[in-house]
Amino acid sequence: MFNRILVANRGEIALRVIRACRELGVEVVAVYSRADRDAAYLNLANDAVCIGAEAPAHSYLNAAAILSAAEITNVEAIHPGYGFLSENPTFAQMCRDCRIEFIGPSSDAMRKLGNKVEAKLLAKAARVPLVPGSDGVVADEDEAVAVAERIGYPVMIKASAGGGGRGMRTAHNEVSLRTNFRNARVEAENAFKDGSLYIEKLVERPRHVEVQLLGDRKGNLIHLFERDCSLQRRHQKLVEESPSPHIDRKTRDRLCTAAVRLAKAAGYYSAGTCEFIVDHENNFYFMEINARIQVEHPVTELVTGVDLVKWQIRIAAGESLSLKQTDVAHSGAAIECRINAESPDDGFRPCPGPVHDFIMPGGPGVRVDTHAHAGCTVSPYYDSMVAKLLVHRPTRADALVAMRRALGEFVIGPIRTTIPLHQTIFEHADFVRGDVDTGFIEREIMPGSRGASSGG
Amino acid sequence: MFNRILVANRGEIALRVIRACRELGVEVVAVYSRADRDAAYLNLANDAVCIGAEAPAHSYLNAAAILSAAEITNVEAIHPGYGFLSENPTFAQMCRDCRIEFIGPSSDAMRKLGNKVEAKLLAKAARVPLVPGSDGVVADEDEAVAVAERIGYPVMIKASAGGGGRGMRTAHNEVSLRTNFRNARVEAENAFKDGSLYIEKLVERPRHVEVQLLGDRKGNLIHLFERDCSLQRRHQKLVEESPSPHIDRKTRDRLCTAAVRLAKAAGYYSAGTCEFIVDHENNFYFMEINARIQVEHPVTELVTGVDLVKWQIRIAAGESLSLKQTDVAHSGAAIECRINAESPDDGFRPCPGPVHDFIMPGGPGVRVDTHAHAGCTVSPYYDSMVAKLLVHRPTRADALVAMRRALGEFVIGPIRTTIPLHQTIFEHADFVRGDVDTGFIEREIMPGSRGASSGG
Amino acid sequence: MPDTRLHSMEIDTDKIKTLLELMVQHDVSRIEIAEGESRILLRRGHTPSVIAPAITPQPFALAPNPGPAAAPAAPTASSPVAEETFIRSPMVGTFYTAPDPESPAFVQSGEIVTPDRVVCLIEAMKVFNEIKAEVSGRITRVLVKNAQAVEYDQPLFAIVAT
Amino acid sequence: MPDTRLHSMEIDTDKIKTLLELMVQHDVSRIEIAEGESRILLRRGHTPSVIAPAITPQPFALAPNPGPAAAPAAPTASSPVAEETFIRSPMVGTFYTAPDPESPAFVQSGEIVTPDRVVCLIEAMKVFNEIKAEVSGRITRVLVKNAQAVEYDQPLFAIVAT
């Protein structure tokens, strides 16, 4: 096992890694930007090094500063957390070139899975379903129509050079496909100076279901069941839970084994997540593999009792995964709410600032992961998550009740948070029934807010 | 189920009952003394009534004020918590006479178990071992010697009229027995105007092990395994855990079934605890039944997954205990630390006052039950407990590690607390090995403090 | 310390919390709201007459805890607005203005009372307790309605010393 | 009206918007941020010479946090004790007083330096970076020992303008 590691991150995930290190008896070095110099969790590290100015580019994304901090503090490994440098294969390789272990998968696996085209080829080779489509650029309208007829309407027209929703059009029949294809091509040429388009089947009201994976460097790799993260706003997850209320046992088994197959094909080790979209007929399609620990990992920790962060560290130190697939049982239902310092009534405007009031929920079945406390300040420089509130109860119905209770107890002020939004979600009949999709928040909870916030 | 109940208590147990009510969908009325008017947990109740001045006798022990509050708020039942009126059979009967259910056992069972002599007769009849002794007053020295020879040295000489350790002497042989008997008689005559004495076997280095019981009004009664509460200072529990690290599986089974036998004989229902002392040969002796929920009940909730407070309320509302003995499994190891606002370095002097800094531990396996938060004030009028910090992990070794980690995170200031004492305990080799008794704190952790604190 | 005085029994603590937050946010030292029968006066920080070069409001005073939902914040007896003090309830129970429904009230607003004057009954545990004024003065307001529940220390009458 | 002056081309308008909102929210009259090459100064409301009856100090200063165990509290440049300012480390690395173990130190306490004077080396990622004084003045104290690790923004030398 390592004697000393460095956490190249901030906020709750830095604290999460510090907690794991303290329990493992591994010394831990924290790094911080000038904005985070008063962060309370730094007191829990064995050492803390200021690595740069407030802006992420100068500190938490500053690979040279982090490696310098690692050198002057003599650590043997770096835990990247999530975000920042966590999925950067170049940084992983830089660490390893400095003989400092990067706590994550191999740089090669990161590189392969970070490339959408390569990842899809891997999935195809591993017989993991992909969203049906043109399998590359379509030459013209007629080819587009032929593809659409093969895969069935509705379809999406996507610009090869596009991304993040830009340059996308839907078509529900041949007429609209032909019109939209022409328009999309002009738009793509103007926007990206590249008019190439491809066609994909439109998955309507998709659910987001992901599978937690854990593997060692000797090829042992298991899944720790799924998390359902369908409750999103603009691709930002708001609520995550396990088990998924959407899929049946057979789909779950197929999903989990598909994820394991794909990860093994990629030579994956450490913790990782395989993301799928699932339609209403329980058809699932591979989206991507996130080659890092995820924000919502505690959901899986609660239902399986497995400490994922400790395992990441052990595996990076060369230990074998002593857990076999049959050792991992799923127990009860766990739900996580991401509490953000945002004003849902005001286009989700971030609300950083000093926190005077902070009363954390407690009692049976509640877990809170947060770096915040009364007297802290939510910094405007970084993401707005102030706490992850989780409950774990024998059934989903019990978990809903416990989450409502816990949300009612949580006091954070005077900054605005998403707690009232979560309270609305947990009273909504569709969510209570477990019947939501990734468009639910915009469609059901915030109608009208789309326009209001589109300028932000 | 009730529509509305009243919590006749304060602090963390009032909050615990409020949490149970919110999860059950039962409205809840809080009562408070003038000292507690700003308590944050009152905001979580549906209604809150000021019942009197600061001193407990004027508020939380004021049965008439509490019943008046119950009447004006139209509640159907009263939860007494622990302490205050919780074990007062007269109050229980007053409630029931007013057609307000008292959430606890029958007044008759409370009365029987509250009387030491009657409780011991019940235990004897139920074949539950008692500490061997004279079975009543001994007439003179010679009879005392005869009893001691029958039960074996060392023995305790106790004054019939004494209590709380007063008028007690130990004797390790006949010579010291005869001398101490004469001295004890003179002392008892002077102190209590009653010189009658009895003899009991001295259990050396006793462990305190108690069994959690839960029964309904139809005679269904089960145990929920044991808690070990050997870590005490002056009969005040500091650390509680389950399973007991002291007893073997066979002793545990015998202890649990003896507790069930005794409670059934007493016609007991609701939650209750049967306390035993256990010697180093795993002999156990009945001490008393606590006819209420106990401070340390969350330890059992963690290892069994059973919500004891919810069950108390359901049973009082007439529901049957749907849990069978075979439904209750013991999983992992749970430990509780009672964090008190006391200064261990200064004779455990209470340290009430305003709390400015309050950072609660969180993350995997941690549960905190507390009414405290940054900005609250620890009142000088009531007991000094500010928080119950619990961990639940697969093994005791893991739980020790998690508790050390959580204690290191807990920031409470500027008031002094027992956190540093707990940190010392959790590093002590004897405690880590699970080898402590009720005298451990005074003997090993605080040598010399006995004199310093005897004036307190 | 914020000075919060509430001149009505039917208050909305949520609204007060919002108002206090607004005051802190905008550094407002005084808000007065009259709404039907209710009147709310909220004041924080130093009184405007004492001007210090740099005023530090206590950060803990900036975290108002509105107290229990159903419990009206008890006005402080040392309020500087008038010499008004309060006759407070010595117990939890039900407040009655008159010995029985047919009789007139024990006291009316405007009446002068002596310490021994019975001003109301409070019924607790089926017992009707006569409550005396305990002070001399003129009753300025009756703060509780007939047959309404009252809690310990709740102001029943406002009284000005004569 | 807010007075906003920007001393750099690489500005982030979203950040400025957020800052302005924060200033309004907390009644802050001035924010100055230096970040690498960028400098941002935002000012709103009255100038300090106009004394308003109630001044709200920035709540950010009211929440003291003892700071990380290992990080020396950085003295503020505007310390009133002397006209001492600091030459700070622009990076994380290892501090060297001299170009090699045989050579004398770049500067000694008491020496007068010009902005272009190299005062030390900081080794980071196997690269030795020459650190210049950037200001003129007399070095009053060398705050870091040779071959000691330094973090970003850590004071290296105390200097008094001459």
H or E segment to which residue B402 belongs: helix B396-409
Question: For position C16, what pLDDT does the model report?
Answer: 52
DSSP letter for B83, please.
S
Q: Which of B10, B207, B233, B292 is catalytic?
A: B292
Closest chain B CA to residue C74: B37
DSSP per residue, B87-147: T-HHHHHHHHHTT-EESSS-HHHHHHHHSHHHHHHHHHHTT-----B-SS-B-SHHHHHHH
Beta-strand pair B357-359/B411-413? antiparallel
Structure tokens at B90: 């007269």
Judging contacts by C-beta atoms under 8 Å, the chain A residues touching residue C59 are 356
Report d(CA B319, CA B99) in Å as an integer. 18
Angle A138-A144-A150 from CA coordinates, rounded to 5°? 115
Question: For position D124, what pLDDT does the model report?
Answer: 87
Question: For position A448, what pLDDT does the model report?
Answer: 60
Interface of B with C (CB under 8 A): 30, 32, 34, 37-38, 40, 42-43, 45-53, 59, 64-65, 67-69, 71-73, 354, 356, 375
On the question of pLDDT at B446 being above 90, the answer is: no
Question: For position D23, what pLDDT does the model report?
Answer: 53
Question: For position A399, what pLDDT does the model report?
Answer: 98
Omega before residue B154 within 30° of 0, cis? yes
Helix axes of B89-97 and B107-114: crossing angle, nearest 10 degrees: 170
Neighbours of B407 (CB within 10 A): 19
On the question of pLDDT at A116 being above 90, the answer is: no
Angle B11-B16-B21 from CA coordinates, rounded to 5°? 125
**Mean pLDDT confidence for B250-272:** 97
Neighbours of D104 (CB within 10 A): 9
Question: Highest mean pLDDT range out of B198-202, B217-221, D54-58?
Answer: B217-221
pLDDT per residue as tens digits for the range A241-279: 999 999 999 999 999 999 999 999 999 999 999 999 999
Do B172 and B154 form a contact (C-beta atoms < 8 A)?
yes
Shortest distance, CA B70 to any CA of chain C (angstroms) = 10
Query: Coil, strand, or helix at residue D117?
Result: coil
- The dotted CATH code for A4-103 is 3.40.50.20
Please give the radius of gyration of chain C, using alpha carbons only, rounded to the nearest integer: 18
Is residue A217 among the annotated active site residues?
A: no
DSSP letter for A441, please.
I
Mean of pLDDT over chain A:
94
On the question of pLDDT at C61 being above 90, the answer is: no
Contacts of B327 (CB under 8 A, 6+ apart): none
Report d(CA B110, CA B266) in Å as an integer. 9
On the question of pLDDT at A340 being above 80, the answer is: yes
**A413–C25 C-beta distance less than 8 A:** no
Secondary-structure class of domain A132-201 per CATH: alpha beta
Q: When comparing pLDDT for C16 and B178, which is higher?
A: B178
For chain A, positions 382-441, list CB contacts with chain B under 8 A.
Answer: 394, 401-402, 404-405, 408-409, 411
Report d(CA B91, CA B102) in Å as an integer. 8
Question: For position C124, what pLDDT does the model report?
Answer: 87
Which residues of chain D are under the pLDDT cut of 50? 1-13, 29-30, 32-81
DSSP letter for A35, please.
G
Question: For position A235, what pLDDT does the model report?
Answer: 85
Question: For position A413, what pLDDT does the model report?
Answer: 94
ipTM above 0.85, yes or no: no
Write the residue in B42, B46, B73 that is nearest to C67 by C-beta.
B42
pLDDT per residue as tens digits for the range B157-193: 988 877 656 668 899 999 999 999 999 898 888 888 8
Q: Does domain B207-445 have CATH number 3.30.470.20?
A: yes
**B43–C66 C-beta distance less than 8 A:** yes
Structure tokens at A423: 């309270």
Do A300 and A306 form a contact (C-beta atoms < 8 A)?
yes
Query: Coil, strand, or helix at residue A171?
Result: strand
Delimit the CATH 3.30.470.20 region(s) of chain A. Answer: 207-445
Pick the closest to residue A373 from A390, A392, A354, A399 (CA basis).
Answer: A354
Contacts of A449 (CB under 8 A, 6+ apart): A344, A347, A348, A442
On the question of pLDDT at A166 being above 90, the answer is: no
pLDDT per residue as tens digits for the range B76-122: 999 999 999 999 999 999 999 999 999 999 999 999 998 878 898 99
Mean of pLDDT over chain C:
67
**Residue-wise burial string across A403-422, b where 16 or more C-beta atoms lie within 10 A, e elsewhere:** bbbbbebbbbbbbbbbbebb
Delimit the CATH 3.30.1490.20 region(s) of chain B. Answer: 132-201
DSSP per residue, A91-137: HHHHHHHTT-EESSS-HHHHHHHHSHHHHHHHHHHTT-----B-SS-
Question: For position D162, what pLDDT does the model report?
Answer: 81
On the question of pLDDT at A378 being above 50, the answer is: yes
pLDDT per residue as tens digits for the range B357-403: 999 999 999 999 999 999 999 999 999 999 999 999 999 999 999 99
Contacts of D7 (CB under 8 A, 6+ apart): D38, D39, D40, D41
pLDDT > 90 in chain B, percent: 86
| Residue that the structure tokens 């109630």 belong to | D54
On the question of pLDDT at A436 being above 90, the answer is: yes
Question: For position C147, what pLDDT does the model report?
Answer: 92
Question: For position B392, what pLDDT does the model report?
Answer: 98
Report d(CA B72, CA B80) in Å as an integer. 18
On the question of pLDDT at C7 being above 80, the answer is: no
On the question of pLDDT at A390 being above 50, the answer is: yes
User: Residue C85 — pLDDT band, cuts 50, 70, 90?
Assistant: very high
Return the bridge partners of A201, or none.
A155
CA A231 to chain centroid: 12
